[in-house]
Structure 1
Amino acid sequence: MQHIPLLIVGGGIGGMAAGLALARAGFDAHIVEQAPEFAEIGAGIQLAPNALRVLEDLGVAAEVHDLAVRPRNLVFMHADTGRHLTTVDFGEPFLARYGRPYSVMHRGDLLDILLRACREYPRVTLENNRRVVDIQDFGTAAEVRFADGDTYRTDALVGADGLWSRARGLLSTDRPITDTYVAYRGALPMGETTVPVEPDDEIIWIGPNKHLVQYPIRRGELYNQVAVFRSTRYTPELEPTDDWGGPTELDAAFAGSCEQVRTSITMFNRDRRWVMYDREPLADWTRGRVTLLGDAAHPMVQYLAQGACQALEDAECLARHLAKHAGDIDEAFAGYQAERIPRTALVQHVARGWGQVWHDDGEVVPALRDRVFGRRATDDYTDLDWLYQPVTS
């Protein structure tokens, strides 16, 4: 049995950011990842000003800006009629208000940046092929057992092991929840797009039970797309299987959309679908020497594009509290979750509601939504302040 002072289970964006933040705060961080290599599945990621503040604090903002795209606008369109609904100006008024731009990039690029930064710190230890099969909390220590039989004993364990977190199982028996929405996503070289593209805009096409998000990534070299729709085949019995939300349903869901959306749906790989899951917020995500971070703590549906952003905020907050309490694990974990739980729970709830507003198929909500959207000024950021302004601690 090997002793590890601080162990992070999960080497995704949240776990890697936590390791880097802890090292920069003067703590040793040991990250274990079950995959053969540190890599992100998927394509695009959106980084709002709240996330970019953290990345600046981590010392990687210059690399992020080198690879990211800063959209000029966020444009909402109606998926079926093709009608313009509203535009959010991401230009100078946005920058003046929040002090940071809105950026989009490839998820793999962000993880690579964090990985390189971690490797520059002797305080960060990185291990792959470490599949966790058991976690035990003993109050003053925790133990992690791996598939190969090795065991680590640690003074502090951070569960950054994602939606299906094993660490979360110490605190809750809850299961991920799906509202039966499924996503297909991918990126293709900009020159291979067959629809008109606004290279400086992020476009969200919303409609009944569906939406499509489009934006450029990797310096504008790739065009990222995410198509989301509600499955009509879903049943609780089918939920654990892949027998619902397939490509046939994808085509059917967007069959009534405008031509540009219908054409866009044909332009990415259909071999894999992502089920949209979240969980109910936890009132307590710490037990003894185990705490949670990122999707393990607060998985959320993607309609606010805040999953990774909130994980980055978690990483900064955890390191700050460990420094504030001079490495006292109990005090630091308590302060960390007291600060983070109210904010992340609010983001989880608002993300759900925002998705309902996008996807409503009735007569009243879409009419009110489109009327409100149509009346707002492009530089009206009132409804974004709670999310993008600096968090006071």
Structure 2
Amino acid sequence: MVIGAGIAGMSLAAALTRDGVPATVLEQAPGPTPDGVGVHLTPNALHPLRRLGLGRALERTGVRPASRDMLRWDDDRLLDSAPLGEEFAERYGASPLTLLCSDLHRALREAVPAGTVRYGRYATDLLEDSDGVTVRCSDGRQVHGDVAIGADGANSLVRSLLNTEHYRPPRRLLYRGLASASRAPEACGDARVRVWAGSDRYISCFPVAGGAQVSFTATVPAGADDPGSYTARDRVRDLAEAFDGWSSAALGLVAAAEWVGVWGVHDHAPVPVWNRGRVALAGAAAHPTLPFFEQAPNQAIEDAVILADRLRDATALSADRALADYVRTRRRRTDRLHAVTDGILAALRTSGERTPEAWAQAVARAEKANADAIYGCGPEEDGGGRPAAAEPTAGPAGAASGRSGAGAVHRVRPHG
């Protein structure tokens, strides 16, 4: 059972069902996502997706940006440019691809049998016993399976069941939007990723839908209130005020927005516990991350293919060991990426510089030093392969957790 039909959950379902492992995806939304925002896929995720047979479907609407350009916030002056297209193809075997999340989700849905995704199922409780795991939903229905995977995003319920979490107010707000390319010609031009950098905020954008639309992301410092998701009103006006005085190209992109969503960004430390018994986390539920190098969706895809590989040959008796193996493999990689982003922020704090130039230089240095590890390694190469033996993992109370004994029932409920 997979809780959450986002990129991590649907990639896992596609990888499992390709290998003949039945999967049921429980999604709280009433139906497939609308067009929404864009996604930037890098080679480390494109190769696994192609092996799943999705290459042709993604190419139909995807765009191959030639470079990522860092621009100064007020005058569009070029601060740094990193090549993406042919250089990435030569170095890593694939060029990055930008496309709508809805196009990626559609390709993943088409890769799984009909009925795999059950919409309108909001998971509220997990119970594990010697026969497997039961997921209880808010409508009273129950779903039983051998394994439950929490792929339910950065505000994961399943993560809160495995970890004792304390609420921390968001430090930043993340706005994501979509505009017609014809309404924002200054921000589009040729196929490139553009990032306007300020001292404490930025706007980035890239083409999607075959170049007909442009997806953008903007971050600003958070105020006193956490907006949650999709709750703030007057978002375009708020964005225009937050970026008052910025270049006409950046403001034109905001003014052209056809849709804008807003989230509170919580700067999480690495999640202590990813698995317990036959329950585990994947994607942003396991490793919420800041949006450097566009790795949040790409690492979710890596999680999915490694997890599917570990579960392919697992039995009811060995499923917990397969999950522990997956966690060890993936933590090595995601912890390394977390350290890279921490290093960028630490360098800026140490220098005391928060200018656009300082931001651009810090990101460029980090990417140059870690590019091969980020984009060139598949999920196995950087993870170090399969360890020889499983180790117990600590649950919230610190006790070693493995497969529950016969007849034992473990119930965990949301904190708060």
- Choose from 271, 291, 308 the match for 1:302: 291
For the Cα contact (< 8 Å) 1:165–1:296, is it kept in 2? yes
Distance in 2 (CA, whole Å) between partners of 1:55 and 1:296 is 21
Match of 1:385 in 2: 372
Normalised to the residue count of structure 1, the TM-score between the two structures is 0.86
1:261 matched to 2:250? The reply is: yes
Once residues 34 and 179 of structure 1 are traced to their aligned partners in structure 2, the CA distance between those partners, rounded to angstroms, is 23
2:215 is the alignment partner of 1:202: no
Once the 2 structures are TM-superposed, how far is the Cα of residue 160 of structure 1 from its aligned partner? 1.0
Distance 1:127 1:48, change over 3 A: same
Per-residue deviation, 1:31:
1.2
Deviation at 1:14, TM superposition (A): 1.1
Aligned counterparts of 1:361 and 1:249: Cα–Cα separation in 2: 31
Between the aligned residues of both structures, percent identity stands at: 29
Matched-pair contact (CA < 8 Å) for 1:141–1:289 = yes
1:34 and 2:28 correspond:
yes
Which range is displaced more, 363-372 or 335-344? Answer: 363-372
Alignment of 1:166-177 (within 5 A): 166-175=157-166, 177=168
Write the distance in 2 (CA, Å) between the matches of 1:176 and 1:267: 35
Alignment of 1:48-63 (within 5 A): 48-63=42-57
Alignment equivalent of 1:293, drawn from 268, 271, 282: 282
- 1:17 corresponds to 2:24: no
Counterpart mapping for 1:1-393 below 5 A:
7-39=1-33, 42-119=36-113, 125-138=116-129, 141-175=132-166, 177=168, 179-195=170-186, 197-231=188-222, 234-235=223-224, 238-239=225-226, 249-269=238-258, 272-323=261-312, 325=314, 328-351=318-341, 353-354=343-344, 363=353, 368=358, 381-391=368-378, 392=381, 393=385
Query: What's the Cα RMSD here?
Result: 3.0
Distance 1:321 1:272, change over 3 A: closer
For the structure 1 residues 384 and 175, does the alpha-carbon distance in structure 2 shift closer, same or farther, using more than 3 Å as the test? farther
- The more displaced of 252-261 and 348-357 is 348-357
**Separation in 2, partners of 1:372, 1:133:** 42
Cα offset, 1:354, TM superposition: 4.3
SS of alignment partner, residue 215 of structure 1: strand
Tell me by how many angstroms 1:373 deviates.
Answer: 7.9
Offset of residue 217 of structure 1: 0.4
Which residue is equivalent to 1:3?
none
Structure 2 residue identity aligned to 1:341: R
Q: Distance in 1 between matches of 2:253 and 2:330?
A: 38
Give the Cα–Cα distance (whole angstroms) in 2 for the partners of residues 37 and 58 of structure 1: 24
TM-score norm. by structure 2 comes to 0.81
Aligned length: 376
- Is the CA contact (8 Å cut-off) linking 1:161 and 1:295 kept in structure 2? yes
CA displacement 1:31-82 (0-9 Å, x = unmatched): 1111111225731101011110110121111111111000011111111342
Q: Which amino acid aligns with 2:77?
A: R
* Alpha-carbon distance change, 229 to 269 in structure 1, aligned in 2, over 3 angstroms: farther
Contact 1:60 1:113 in 2 (8 A): yes
Deviation at 1:266, TM superposition (A): 2.0
Summarize the Cα distance change of 1:288–1:373 in structure 2 as closer, same or farther, 3 Å threshold: closer
**CA distance in 1 between partners of 2:9 and 2:363 (Å):** 37
Cα distance in 2, alignment partners of residues 313 and 353 from structure 1: 23
Give secondary structure in 2 for the equivalent of 1:96: helix
Q: Please give the alpha-carbon distance, in whole angstroms, between the structure 2 residues aligned to 1:338 and 1:202.
A: 34
- Quick check: 2:155–2:285 contact (8 Å CA) kept in 1? yes
The amino acid that maps onto 2:327 is Q
- SS of alignment partner, residue 127 of structure 1: strand
Q: Which runs of 5+ in 1 are unaligned?
A: 1-6
For residues 242 and 116 of structure 2, what CA distance do their matches in structure 1 show? Answer: 46
